Amino acid sequence: MTTFAAKLAQQRPTEVALRDEVKALSWAELDDCLNRVANGLQQLDLGPQRRIAVFAENAVETALANLGGLVGGASVVPVNFHLTAGELVYILKDSGARVLFVGPHTAGRGVAAAAESGVHEVIGWCSETGVRPWATWLAAQSNAEPPGKLPPRPNLLYTSGTTGRPKGTELPPTMFAGGDTVAEHLANLAASPAAEWGTHLVVGPMYHTGPLSGARSLAAGVPCVILGRFDAEKTLRAMQDYAIGNTVMVPTHFVRLLALPEDVKTRYDLRALRRVAHTGAKCPVDVKRAMIAWWGPVFIDAYGASEVGTTCMITTKEWLEHPGSVGRALPPFEAMILDDDGKPLPPNTEGRLFFKDETGRGVIYHNDPQKSAAAHVAPGVFTLGEVAYMDEDGYVYITDRFSDMVVSGGVNLYPAEAEQVLIKHEALIDVACIGVPHTEMGEELRALAIPHDRGNAPPPEAVIAWCRERLSHYKCPRSLEWVDSLGRNSMGKINKRKLRAPYWENWA
């Protein structure tokens, strides 16, 4: 099934297929590793859904576990490596994963979570009690071509929910290459246009679908370079050194790149760059203009969600003609702007943004038909929770969100998770978390809290530190403000749009 790698090993014997900051694999070595991972998984109990989970920071091994799982007919669950052991337990139980792959920074949490969740095997590129060493496990497996008729299984992705529990959703058909067998699936991947865009650079965490696309594009013969935690100048250096042609970025990456000194920005040769997919969050107009002026018309904006894939897209040329737009709807989706009663609104009128999925699928959450139903106003007509308007040409402009979700640095944050922790603090009577403007991150999570005793309220940073001891740091508010009221109505509900308004009024 990894015929693609074997053929490329013959055609390009000296080319590096996959590298990170410490190691590099040729196509022949990639073929050997993928075969061993796929064959090794055949020897393990993967459960009825054949699920494995990957809980590790960016590395060559992380890519091999993800792609090797696909080749081995497994459904891979990429897990946010910031999660605590307790948060990981829920995902492992809900997904039914039986095997967990970990790295050096996640091994301790992974072993602890595995012990509580029924995971049969923990394999990792690290030294940790309770972890089977990756190198030893690989060496014990056959490097022969794996079974050829295994059905391909989509990833199961988890995105946080407003109830504080993550929501699982399978990689949708718009993002899954399909096929009756893994061999057909890999052939479909090989036929993608990715081969035309050049070497792929992974700069985002590989628990997101965008960065994971770099691993999948190996099947199209696209070499892949993986970076660790984002560093702006290191990214430019890699783009020059490896003649990067294609990458996926979020607005926070752009902000950090633009903040570099001018002599640093002009130091690197980026002429190989052909395509930058921007995703994760709406990009401020001035930031996008500055990036286009620097890198040229190489940007493709993809708006959507893990649940459904890309719903709207816009090229650089289109964006310059419609600045600020996230593009027009892509088949099988049709964009719709509806009022609060579900009635269509005319062009250039702000309302709730919905999409009609012509296939009828819409949004499907794993093990949760109620949440699936709640995302729809009609069969196949769903929302991603945002307020927008659409012009006469069908271009969509996002203006706000009617859901509570906060997008910070391209990462979805759900205030309920932090609120449920903070309300247990002895100094707080009530709390609400909202998204407020942040120059670099787009927005940051801020807690608005009512203290028991305003005169003796603890320092905000102490409350935030307390929260961080109980919840993954990235889910905690970056700032906290003491307030006298949250404006709860008689039903106890908070109008968060009203709470956010003062912070956004003069924000350009």
pLDDT in tens, 15-59: 999 999 999 999 999 999 999 999 999 999 999 999 999 999 999
Separation between Cα atoms, residue 55 and residue 338, nearest integer Å:
39
Count of beta carbons in the 10 Å neighbourhood of residue 485: 8
pLDDT (0 to 100) of residue 415 = 87
- Give 248's contacts (C-beta < 8 A, 6+ positions apart): 202, 203, 204, 210, 211, 213, 214, 276, 277, 278, 279
Nearest of 405, 400, 428, 427 to residue 416 by alpha carbon: 405
Separation between Cα atoms, residue 101 and residue 106, nearest integer Å:
9
Residue 249 has pLDDT above 90, yes or no: yes
pLDDT in tens, 128-149: 999 999 999 999 999 999 987 8
Question: Is the CB of residue 56 less than 8 Å from the CB of residue 62?
Answer: yes
| SS3 call for 52 | strand
Q: Mark out the alpha helices in 118-217 (DSSP H runs).
A: 134-139, 182-190, 209-216
- The domains found in the chain, sorted by start residue, are 3-220 (3.40.50.980), 230-401 (3.40.50.12780), 415-504 (3.30.300.30)
pLDDT (0 to 100) of residue 163 = 43
Separation between Cα atoms, residue 139 and residue 153, nearest integer Å:
25
Sheet of 99-102, strand order: 75-78, 51-55, 99-102, 121-124, 132-133
pLDDT (0 to 100) of residue 159 = 81
Name the pLDDT band for 161 (thresholds 50, 70, 90): very low
Amino acid symbol at 417: E
Residue 489 has pLDDT above 80, yes or no: no
pLDDT in tens, 278-335: 988 778 888 899 999 999 999 999 999 999 999 999 999 999 999 999 999 999 999 9
Residue 491 has pLDDT above 70, yes or no: no
Residue 490 has pLDDT above 60, yes or no: no
At how many degrees (to 10) do helices 209-216 and 60-71 cross? 70
Mean pLDDT of 262-271: 97
| SS3 call for 168 | strand
pLDDT (0 to 100) of residue 416 = 81
**Which single residue is written with the structure tokens 């903040």?**
259
pLDDT (0 to 100) of residue 493 = 73
Residue 426 has pLDDT above 80, yes or no: yes
Percent of the chain with pLDDT over 90: 77
389 token code pair:
């308007």
Residue 119 has pLDDT above 90, yes or no: yes
Separation between Cα atoms, residue 251 and residue 257, nearest integer Å:
10
3 compared with 240, residue with greater pLDDT: 240
Q: What integer best gives the mean pLDDT of the chain? A: 92
Mean pLDDT of 425-449: 92
pLDDT in tens, 388-424: 999 999 999 998 777 778 888 888 787 888 998 999 8
Residue 195 has pLDDT above 70, yes or no: yes
